[in-house]
Structure 1
């Protein structure tokens, strides 16, 4: 049995990066499939832990779901080789390819495995699963888009991601459904242009990294831990600002990429899609505000015994970037008007 230590994890992490480069740089569908398989086999040792049953269960669930998606992807490739003449005009093949790639990202209606796996892994692996593991399927999806099918998936992602965030007590599941919601925005950005997708993905990865690092350093996994401990007031404000940026509330920096997407949708008279996108963001903002508002107003003399002092100045320095989001929004107006 292979014992996973820090050196082995660095080895598998290198292969995780290497597999993504194989997928996005390959000139054939078979090479893309090989890169996805290497990505799958390199991420499973990172999330599996023999001392934690939840991590082992999450690794098994991840392997089964990704294997099913890889089988569907390989089946569509073989089917396309038979129907080579009508490959790019066949809607059935395009739907199978898009569905298998959406399943690898945890998109609706194939999202049921995603929150369960997020619940059993560490914050670092949560960050990798929500950001890096979406790069290869998204780039491959841009090679063969079925616009009507993806428009339906975009609306379902933003709606299910927002509605399922209610009554969640786990922060990892809350961020998982937030990732499903942002996946709808990422799909819309990918359909517009790859540059816009890259801008949105960088902003989203930045805010998710801040949230995961903060919860990892504070050792927080559930919402009631925000109520039971008295943090520094500035730390609560940093969590509030990051939630606002993640939800896309103006004038915070997270609104900037969403503003670009909504602007394009309105120019092209896609009012229904923009309506669903805006309403889902409002629902997510309501969920975030309810969490932070309760934790900031929760007061008890008994809780005064549980004081937490944050001595890591690096964490406060990272969260300081959220405070300059207003300046970023003001400067962005000069580039568009």
Structure 2
């Protein structure tokens, strides 16, 4: 009871820290909100019974402290140099440093090296928070002071590393980490258009991640061979899980294609080279998702004889997966209706 109560308190302060950062009108207030968010997340991910969780919490703490120090350094030095009326490229340099510190906080490439390692030691619930909520505050701060030339290169590096890094992964947590890095690139590119498109992409990504992670957590699955062996008792569950992978990759009939589609339509006249790289790397992502799906459906795997029942998913799982798989059709129906 005490542990559950403290977890709820830390979760509330974590949410409050991000909201303080978003609503702050000064960089010092934003920094305080980020620190409040960090110091609330550390107790949630540390577990005295699991050495991997302690290792991940220490890695996360050190990286976030480094990023916060760089952010504070850039803000303070920028104010000092502007107070001294020295304008020789200082604003540009300090904005680059500030952008880099925020990219470190969210785990974007090429500052991504801590991200898969931290995710490997966490539970699925904490992974979901790290992949979604922990990216909101740094991304909104980044939209305030974005340097588009710098972010163009970051977007291309994110989609390349996120696609290639997940090819030979057998750990589902690392696979989701590299998928998250790939989606960070797409989310950053949405800021070239407007914050509304970023919000649409982020909400779609959150919903898709929730539907997949809910199934992983429900069946206690952490590695690829568990998907092949433990889900043979229910073809329906296996169908939903692997088609959610395809939706996350952005295959057209599913909901995951919708945010990519609107970004492609809006970016095609702005930055064609960046968009070409993004689409090519998404095809690589789809390649290894389809390869996993093909292996799961087309090859025979051992099935224990005494598991002879056909398990059906519960209503939460069905609702999340229905939205994930048929959300694009629902959006088209509502659009044509009105």
TM-superposition CA deviations, 1:275-308 (whole Å, max 9, x none)? 1111111111111111122112232455444567
Q: Is the 8 A contact 1:69 1:103 kept in 2?
A: yes
Aligned equivalents of 2:152, 2:307: Cα separation in 1: 48
1:295 paired to 2:296: yes
In structure 1, the residue matched to 2:51 is 53
**Number of residue equivalences:** 332
Distance 1:301 1:108, change over 3 A: closer
TM-superposition CA deviations, 1:184-235 (whole Å, max 9, x none)? 0000112210000000000000000111111000110000101222141111
Distance 1:95 1:300, change over 3 A: closer
1:64 paired to 2:59: no
TM-superposition CA deviations, 1:118-139 (whole Å, max 9, x none)? 0000000000000000000000
1:220-259 to 2 correspondence within 5 Å? 220-229=221-230, 230-259=232-261
Distance 1:4 1:129, change over 3 A: farther
1:169 paired to 2:163: no
TM-superposition CA deviations, 1:156-209 (whole Å, max 9, x none)? 000000000011010010000000000000001122100000000000000001
In structure 1, the residue matched to 2:326 is 324
Aligned equivalents of 1:87, 1:103: Cα separation in 2: 26
**Any gaps of 5 or more consecutive residues in structure 1?**
none
1:75-154 to 2 correspondence within 5 Å? 75-84=73-82, 85=85, 86=87, 90-154=91-155
Does the residue aligned with 2:139 lie in a helix, a strand or coil?
Answer: helix
Distance 1:301 1:244, change over 3 A: closer
Aligned equivalents of 1:161, 1:105: Cα separation in 2: 14
Runs of 4+ in 1 over 6 A off after TM superposition: none
TM score, norm. by length of structure 1: 0.93
Shift of 1:242: 1.1
Distance 1:30 1:7, change over 3 A: same
Distance 1:97 1:306, change over 3 A: farther
Does the residue aligned with 1:90 lie in a helix, a strand or coil?
Answer: helix
Aligned equivalents of 2:207, 2:119: Cα separation in 1: 19
In structure 1, the residue matched to 2:220 is 219
Distance 1:311 1:334, change over 3 A: closer
Does the residue aligned with 1:267 lie in a helix, a strand or coil?
Answer: coil
Q: Is the 8 A contact 2:229 2:301 kept in 1?
A: no
Does the residue aligned with 2:14 lie in a helix, a strand or coil?
Answer: helix
Shift of 1:330: 3.4
In structure 2, the residue matched to 1:265 is 267
* Aligned-pair Cα RMSD in Å: 2.0
TM-superposition CA deviations, 1:71-115 (whole Å, max 9, x none)? 000000110111225499721101100000000000111100000
